[in-house]
Structure 1
Amino acid sequence: MTTETVSAPVSVPVSATGGPVASRAGQVSWALFDWANQPYFTLITTFIFAPYFAATYVGDPTLGQALWGQTLGVAGLVIAFVSPILGSIADQTGRRKPWLFACAVVFCLSAAALWFAVPGAGAVNPLPIMVAAGMAAIAMEFAVVFNNAMLPSLVSSTRMGTLSGFGWGIGYVGGLVALILMLFFMAASGETGLTMIGTAPWFGLDPALNEADRFAGPMAALWFALFVIPLFVFTPDAAATGVSPGRAVRQGLRKLKTTLGHLRRYRNVALYLVSRMLYFDGLSAIFAFGGIYAAGIFGWELMTLGLFGIILSVFAAAGAFIGGWLDDRIGSKPTILIAVAGLVVATVGSASIGPDTVFFVVPVAPPEVGAAPFSSVGEQIYLLFGILIGMAGGPAQAASRTLMARMAPPSMMTEFFGLYALSGKATAFLAPLAIAWATTAYASQRAGLIVIVAFLVIGFMLLLGVRERQEDAI
């Protein structure tokens, strides 16, 4: 008598949208998008070009901070209105890569144009560079919408937090590497003409013309163009639906109108989007204006700002990796709450630092001209609060993306990520414009920084009422 052995069925991993998970190469290539785009945020909007724009290109740190706020504010308005429409249309056509490619082309051209921000020219007519910076911001944010929407189709729901955190983590590492290259090989001293490691700057960049600061734009464009290639080669895209572009526009707009009209049905998601809208405005603003503030109050130039950026990037990468691990263990919402609380403390602390005071009222000696970086007490305390911003910023961003992926109906993923982008940008113009108004009204960079706290606190309070669960499609 023979017996038959019945093999147990093999469990095939299933993605959060119900299809097969992507290969390891596909997942890593998707995460490399963050590596590709982070130098834009690191070099242009945070540590190199934005402070240069305010202090040198415009020539007046207070006016420059106000103009930069206006630039990001107008870009935020465009993103707010268009990104949910693009997301809805992409859901109708199925594929996301063609849209992402178009955004990449516009971004690279706009970022490269920042090279023409010749020192002092902004005092005469800053508008062309403001337009280029605004177009780069718009194109990058649109690209992020399509990249984010691919996440649930790549891994299981239990691994989205890990992959999202991994993406943010290697993104910060990419920004760190770009900063190191800029600081050690391109940024030269105006006195010696040599870089920090004692060599002539690459490409013959002239410190007298601030060419290293201006090269932040072309460098971010080249970096993105190179490292986004694996995503197009290895990461699977959704299948095309066969819907024509014209029909997709009509259907997408109708579906978006329906989604917005039924937000009462998605009250939990709506509450999360409003919460995220506010705390993300604060998060984006502190990253965008922290370097400008330091350049204004301490007189930091490119090398010190670069060192500041390197230190923050190390801690931001560590925070993102830890946040991804924490996300999958305690949930996205608790991770975000912890991170936003840290941002509130760090932002208040940063705003409390002045040229000769700390914690608003405690007098300290101001930085000495020609002294080593971070040698004054004020600079050291500002650096500590900056490290806290880096540690909290990574988890806040990575877990926010994961929470949206966990809550959105699978069949409406890109459309909801369009709304997610809307929540990140619908009032994104308010924080920069509020900073611009406060800076101008009080003739104070500190006043501009303090308004960020309100966005973080209100967003934190609203998030307390959000329930972490997936919604059913209508």
Structure 2
Amino acid sequence: MLFDWAQQPFHTLVITFVFAPYFAAAVAPDAARGQELWGLATGIGGLMIALASPVLGAIADASGPRKPWVLGFSVIGVLACAGLWFATPGTENLLPVLVLVALAVFGMEFAAVFNNAMMPGLVPRAQLGRLSGSAWGLGYVGGLVSLVLVLGFMAAVPETGRTLLGIQPLFGLDAAAREGDRMAGPFTALWYALFVIPMFLFTPDRPRRRVVGAVRQGLSRLAATLRGLPRQVSYFSFLAASMFYRDALNALYAFGGIYAAGVLGLSIVQIGLFGILANVTGALGAWLGGRMDQAHGPKAVVTVSILVLSLCCLVVISTTRSEVMFVPLGTADSSLPVLVFFAAGAFIGAAGGAIQAASRTLLVDQVPREQVTEAFGLYALSGKATTFIGPLSVAAATAYFSGSALGLSAESAQRLGVTPILALFLLGLVLLPLVRSAPRAVAE
């Protein structure tokens, strides 16, 4: 469980809230170029994971232990995150920074592939959903704690030289040089290196097998899996379903703030509060989802979560500054749309946490235990290889509805532009009946 606590600040501090905005605003030549380069670096890191994870997962299954793989990729991720300190404002040669970002994504997320594969050997199948949900919830809490520490005590607003708590940055960090923002990298590395230690010390691992021929054996089994995958209806359907609903969830997270600003006119502070609320409910949702998983199985949790997320999408699409659920309010000054949007965001966070935790458990039900690392590699491949579907479909729909021939306002075009997210959730839902979950008798 502490692995999720250790790793989540990488996503919270580096990928989302601190270093990424700093890179786009202060390191790159301009914000548009920064967004382009950031997408390129993280995309290359994700592509490396997509191409290598099934192969290395199959080799790991054949050789036995997962901890050596976790350690190797953790070292890559930690060193890359620490190196982000040297991304100073206005850096002329951005290539080293982009390489570090790609390596950080590669190392941190690859370590998670092998950590996830250890779960089935730690507890009985009946407790696996609870373990996954509790771990995912703990990760959300770790992300929030790390975010409060960095924004409250280290990262200062350049204009005032003070942090969000109104104090001078700790350790003499220079606000003008954006040292508090750059500290997100080394802080993430230190946090991860410290809190991942209990997993290495106290979590049991599989015994080492005969290494000779492990590469050939692993690759042969992977090739056999890929050839036979279309005939494994449940396994194949799960990978396809999870591909669609994970793409939808990632797009929902990516465009939520943009939608809130454009359609509802929320300020940056309000959007920040919205993000905090979604993270808090995400932790609670993952924790509760784990217990529902234990009681009813992961397939039920995934199904209910998709229905909740789809309903929340519909609520968001139907709400503007003057409408709630397509019903005009008669005034543009009502606070009800914002309250409805925040309520939808709370449920999105909770369902998003639950669905991601339950998906790990449901994947384990699709394969024999000796192939679980390979399965998590294919799971990573199906998620990384298609991450463009959600953003591109939203972009295409928005561009279509913005066409002058349709006569729609920019607000209406933006509302209709996010409808592909709802379609992706529904595609995932349609495929779920073909996915089997462990029978209760077997699970217990």
Task: Give the alignment of 1:132-171 within 5 angstroms.
Answer: 132-171=100-139
Percent identical among aligned pairs is: 48
The 1-side partners of 2:44 and 2:395 are apart by 12
Amino acid at match of 2:143: G
Question: Deviation at 1:90?
Answer: 0.2
Q: Which amino acid aligns with 2:250?
A: S
SS for the counterpart of 2:58 is helix
Q: 1:431 to 1:108 in 2, by over 3 A?
A: farther
TM-score, normalised to structure 2, is 0.83
Unaligned runs of 5+ in 1: 1-30, 367-374
Shift of 1:465: 2.8
Contact 2:64–2:209 (Cα < 8 Å) also in 1: yes
Cα deviation for residue 395 of structure 1 reads 0.5
- Cα separation, partners in 2 of 1:256 and 1:125, compared to 1, 3 Å: same
Q: Which amino acid in 1 is paired with 2:279?
A: S
2:431 aligns with 462
**Cα distance, 1:203 vs. partner?**
2.6
Letter in 1 for 2:387: A
Structure 2 vs 1, CA of residues 33 and 466 (structure 1 numbering), >3 Å: closer, same or farther? same
Give the one of 89, 112, 123 matched to 2:59.
Answer: 89
Kept after mapping to 2: 8 A contact 1:65/1:439:
no
What is the distance in 2 between the residues matched to 1:449 and 1:240?
48
| RMSD (Å), alpha carbons | 3.5
Separation of aligned partners in 1, 2:420 and 2:166: 41
Query: Where does residue 75 of structure 2 map in the other structure?
Result: 105
Aligned equivalent of 1:38: 8
> Which piece of structure 1 moves more, 150-159 or 126-135?
126-135
Deviates more, 1:37-46 or 1:440-449: 440-449
Distance 1:255 1:91 in 2: 10
Is 1:237 aligned to 2:196, yes or no? no
Q: Distance in 2 between matches of 1:203 and 1:435?
A: 43
Distance 1:305 1:49 in 2: 18
8 Å contact from structure 1 (residues 69, 432) kept in 2: no
Cα–Cα, structure 1 residues 277 and 165, in superposed 2: closer, same or farther, change >3 Å? same
Worse-matched range after superposition: 138-147 or 377-386:
377-386
Deviation (angstroms), 1:34: 0.5
1:419 maps to which of 367, 373, 378: 378
Deviation track 1:280-331 (CA, whole Å, cap 9, x = no partner) reads 1222333345456668886866x76654443322211111111001111121
Could you list the per-position Cα deviations for residues 108-144 of structure 1 after superposition, in whole angstroms to 9, with x for gaps in the alignment? 12223333444465xx776544433232222222111
Q: Is the 8 A contact 2:50 2:385 kept in 1?
A: yes
Q: Hey, what's the Cα distance between the residues in 1 that align with 2:280 and 2:391?
A: 26
Q: Check 1:360–1:208 CA distance in 2 against 1; reply closer, same or farther (3 A cut).
A: farther
Q: Is the partner of 2:242 in helix, strand or coil?
A: helix
2:364 corresponding residue in structure 1: 405
Counterpart amino acid of residue 384 in structure 1: A
Select the structure with the greater relative contact order (CA < 8 A; seq sep ≥ 6).
1
Instruction: Report what 2:251 is aligned to.
Output: 285
Partner of 1:199: 167
Change (3 A) 1:228 1:219: same
Letter in 2 for 1:144: A
Q: Give the match for residue 343 of structure 1.
A: 309
Contact (CA 8 Å) 1:188, 1:194: kept in 2 or not?
A: yes
> Mean alpha-carbon deviation: is it higher for 428-437 or for 151-160?
428-437
278, 287, 302: which one aligns with 1:312: 278
From 259, 264, 267, the counterpart of 2:225: 259
- Contact conserved, 1:66 with 1:439, CA < 8 A, in 2? no
TM-score normalised over the length of structure 1 = 0.78
Residues 339 and 208 from structure 1, CA distance in 2 versus in 1: closer, same or farther, beyond 3 angstroms? farther
| Matched residue, 1:270 | 236
Paired residue total: 427
Indicate which of 346, 350, 371 corresponds to 1:387.
346
Which stretches in structure 2 are left out of the alignment for 5+ residues?
404-409
- How far does residue 75 in structure 1 lie from its aligned partner after superposition? 3.2
Deviation at 1:407, TM superposition (A): 2.5
Show the counterpart of 1:27.
Answer: none
SS of 1:169's equivalent in the other structure is helix
Q: Secondary structure at the match of 2:204?
A: coil
SS at match of 2:284: helix
Residue matched to 2:291: 325
2:45 to 75, 100, 107: 75
- Structure 1 position 449, deviation (Å): 5.3
TM superposition shift of 1:81: 1.6
- Give a deviation string over 1:32-80, Cα, whole Å, max 9, x none: 1000111112222233333444455557666655554444443333222
Q: Is the 8 A contact 2:154 2:181 kept in 1?
A: no
1:139 partner SS: helix
| Contact 1:77-1:426 at 8 Å conserved across structures | yes
Preserved CA contact (<8 Å) 2:233 2:435: no
Q: State the alpha-carbon separation in 1 of the partners of residues 239 and 20 from structure 2.
A: 28
Distance 1:85 1:171, change over 3 A: same
Does structure 2 conserve the Cα–Cα contact (< 8 Å) formed by 1:46 and 1:287? no
The 1:288–1:133 alpha-carbon spacing in structure 2 relative to 1, beyond 3 Å, is farther
